[in-house]
Amino acid sequence: MARQPILPAARVEQRRGEAGFALIEILCVLAIIGLLAAIVLPSIPRATTRARLESYAVETAALLKADRSTALRRQVQVTTLVDAEARAIRSGATGRIVRLPPDVTVDATLASRCANRVVGRSIDFFPSGMSCGGTIALARPGMGYEVRVNWLTGGVEIVAQKLL
């Protein structure tokens, strides 16, 4: 059997200190990674998911149904403003606004004249339950929804659209 040489204590201590990373070094690296993540992650664009797009359509339909219900209940005309450029739909009854993100395309097909007046940027609900009607299309690449308001009944429905 070969004998191992006995090393002086100073050499043993020197080798133990060089064997790995110090805890402070690991913590510094983790802190730097955390700072970089905090800077980079907010700048990554988050696309609207299919479920979120559907929830925007449901929220828009709920706002329109609430305005129709208010018109029937209070026996007054209620106007829902649709601003496709600003990506906003504003309730005439409550003032609540549905704001849509920039990656969602908003297209509104609205009546140009209704009840002997020029409209074009709104859907009006009358005390009888009727409306001016219109369609609000919400889309992202590959998927879309149309929120349709029937002019005769004032009924609101959501129709899924397949986009290319």
pLDDT digits (tens, 9 = 90+) for 6-35: 655 555 555 555 666 788 889 999 999 999
Q: Compute the mean pLDDT over every residue in the chain, rounded to the nearest whole number.
A: 86
Q: Residue 134: pLDDT above 80?
A: yes
Where in the chain are the domains?
A: 9-43, 50-162
Distances (CA, A) of 150 to 18, 25, 68, 135, 158: 78, 67, 11, 9, 11
pLDDT digits (tens, 9 = 90+) for 53-93: 999 999 999 999 999 999 999 999 999 999 999 999 999 99
| CATH assignment, 50-162 | 3.55.40.10
How many helical (H) and strand (E) elements, i.e. helices and strands, does the chain have? 3, 10
Distances (CA, A) of 28 to 17, 20, 22, 32, 161: 19, 15, 10, 6, 51
63 vs 92: CA distance, rounded Å: 9
